[in-house]
Structure 1
Amino acid sequence: MTMQTFSKWLYAGLAVLGGGQASAQSQTPAGILRKTLLEQQLPATTVETVRMDGLTLGPGAGAPDHYHPCEVYGYVVEGQILYQVHGQEPVLLHAGDSFREAAGERITVFKNALTDKPSKFIAIYLAKKGQSLIKFTDQ
């Protein structure tokens, strides 16, 4: 990922974290187009650390059954990801889609839906200092 692409997604991620579309749009310089990717009310929590990771899932690869002790927000950069929260229907995420994984919410499926090429996404973790970012369940 180039620095320009990273900066674009970092700016988008910080806009999501920074409090909504209205305040961000009033500060957008001429010649820049803003698209809100996700707007979500945060639960009452203490955020001491923000971490943003770029992840690549190889063809058909995915994470085992897991949950995050902190809030996680994501954006699919490339490819398709099959995503399922425990007890809900699976969702197929495409490039340009955003998603939220609530703290403590069990994710039973999170994998690259493509078998011939990788899929890429950005994950933004809102954590407490020193907090684990992911826990795998024993299913």
Structure 2
Amino acid sequence: MKKLLFIMSVLITGSAAAQTPPARKQLLQQILPATTVEEVRMDEITFAPGQGAPVHHHPCEVYGYIVSGEILYQPAGEAAVLLHAGDAFRETAGREITLFKNAQDDQPATFVAVYLLKKDQPAIIIKK
């Protein structure tokens, strides 16, 4: 009888835990422009202290997430913003990014970028 009560207790506790939904935090919601996505590429990129990207644009939509550190981010025509760990961002296809730089001089910054590409499309185009 004790064994049966123990098994029932485990089953009840286990099923209650299985019904508890996971914690969910929405980071970004964006309506996609009309486009054809044939390939998704996801990169984890780490900038050394003070390092940044040259002026560039992406021929595709890009969605990003700051994993650690702080990034100074400025699309053309907008004010620069400071992105912190846990922040998400969007880079519009074709829009020039004039500043994307690790804001800290003493530690690296890491972010994840998701590129919504067409087949054989480059992910980034550096301004010459």
Cα distance, 1:31 vs structure 2 = 4.2
Q: Identify the match of residue 35 of structure 1 among 9, 25, 31.
A: 25
CA distance in 2, matches of 1:30, 1:54: 31
SS of residue paired to 2:59: coil
Matched, 1:56 2:46: yes
Cα distance, 1:121 vs structure 2 = 0.3
User: Letter of the aligned partner of 1:38 in structure 2?
Assistant: L
In the alignment, structure 2 segments of 5+ residues that lack a partner are 1-18
- In the other structure, the counterpart of 2:127 is 137
User: Letter of the aligned partner of 1:60 in structure 2?
Assistant: G
Matched, 1:85 2:68: no
RMSD: 0.9
- In the other structure, the counterpart of 2:99 is 109
- Normalising by structure 1, we get a TM-score of 0.77
Cα distance, 1:30 vs structure 2 = 2.3
Cα distance, 1:103 vs structure 2 = 0.3
Matched, 1:98 2:84: no
Structure 1 runs of 4+ off > 3 angstroms? Answer: none
In the alignment, structure 1 segments of 5+ residues that lack a partner are 1-28
1:42-100 deviations in whole A, cap 9, x for unaligned?
Answer: 00000000111111010000100000000000000000000001111000000000000
% identical equivalent positions:
60
CA distance in 2, matches of 1:43, 1:95: 27
| Greater C-alpha radius of gyration | 2
CA distance in 2, matches of 1:31, 1:100: 28
CA distance in 2, matches of 1:104, 1:114: 28
Cα distance, 1:34 vs structure 2 = 0.8
